[in-house]
């Protein structure tokens, strides 16, 4: 099963990706996490990606496509995968299709839809683990011990690009560049839309139901 997760920033893609990958018994990757790993390790790619991410705009397609297609080529992903945050442009979607053409492309695009105001509210309270990148929320889903990741003990911090100045730009970019990807998969008959406004549990159940 080859699944992608689409949705505006703060929709709950990262929160739900682990559950979906567990359910399908496949691996998962998030393009944003891969970029942040590169930033943390001070790679050339990280330096380049940061210059875009800090402004809330997309990293160029050629760089992003190379990164994700490289990950997809690894044998671990042969059984299937869950991709969170890729593709985010129609160019990326076409590259993914081309790369998977002998396997018939992806199987399913899950679109988690939330209104803009809810994205803003969620991102304002989001914290993530510096080590494993698991997302938390200061009121909805805080870690058991403040500032410490439940899963790995890493430091929990607020992303620079979750500041309100940058969030507005990221939402604009979603509607301009990523919303057409939703229409692209709808056109292929591979899209399922999920209302992302319920609790984490409810949205998770709706996603699992969509997989069945």
User: Which lies closer to Zn ion via its Cβ, residue 129 or residue 203?
Assistant: 129
Q: State the Cα–Cα distance between residues 87 and 91, nearest whole angstrom.
A: 8
Surface-to-core class of residue 149, CB atoms within 10 Å of its CB (0-12 exposed, 13-18 middle, 19+ buried): buried
Q: Report the residue from 40, 66, 79, 151 that binds Zn ion according to the rule CB under 5 A.
A: 151
For residue 96, count other CB atoms closer than 10 A to its CB.
22
C-alpha 92 chain-centroid distance: 14
Catalytic residue among 28, 36, 122, 170: 170
Pairing of strands 81-84, 27-30: parallel
Catalytic residue among 159, 179, 190, 192: 159
Contact assessment for residue 181 and residue 111, using Cβ atoms and an 8 Å cutoff: no
131 in contact with Zn ion (CB under 5 A): yes
Q: Which does 154 bind (CB under 5 to 8 A by kind): Zn ion, ligand ADP, none?
A: Zn ion
Q: State the Cα–Cα distance between residues 144 and 44, nearest whole angstrom.
A: 36
- The one segment of 20-28, 146-154, 187-195, 197-205 that binds ligand ADP by CB under 6 A: 197-205
Q: Which does 9 bind (CB under 5 to 8 A by kind): ligand ADP, Zn ion, none?
A: ligand ADP
Q: Tokens standing for 12?
A: 């709950």
Summarize as ranges the residues that interact with ligand ADP (CB under 6 A).
7, 9-15, 30-32, 35, 52-53, 56, 58-59, 64, 85-86, 88, 92, 122, 125-126, 135-137, 140-141, 161, 170, 198-200, 203
């Amino acid at each position: 099963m080859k699944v992608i997760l689409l949705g505006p920033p703060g929709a709950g893609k990262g929160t739900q990706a682990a559950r979906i990958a567990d359910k399908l018994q496949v691996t998962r990757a998030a393009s944003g996490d891969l970029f942040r790993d590169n930033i943390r390790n001070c790679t050339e790619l990280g330096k380049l990606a940061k210059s875009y991410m800090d402004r809330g705009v997309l990293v160029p397609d050629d760089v992003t496509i190379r990164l994700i297609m490289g990950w997809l080529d690894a044998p671990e992903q042969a059984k299937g995968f869950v991709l969170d945050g890729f593709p985010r442009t129609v160019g990326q979607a076409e590259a993914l299709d081309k790369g998977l053409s002998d396997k018939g492309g992806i199987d399913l695009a899950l679109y988690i839809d939330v209104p803009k105001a809810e994205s803003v509210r969620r991102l304002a309270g989001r914290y993530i683990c510096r080590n494993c990148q698991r997302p938390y929320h200061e009121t909805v889903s805080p870690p058991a011990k403040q500032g410490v990741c439940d899963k790995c003990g890493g430091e929990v911090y607020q992303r620079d690009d979750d500041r309100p100045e940058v969030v507005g730009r990221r939402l604009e970019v979603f509607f301009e560049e990523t919303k057409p990807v939703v229409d692209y998969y709808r056109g292929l008959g591979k899209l399922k839309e999920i209302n992302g406004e319920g609790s984490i549990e409810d949205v998770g159940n709706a996603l699992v139901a969509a997989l069945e």
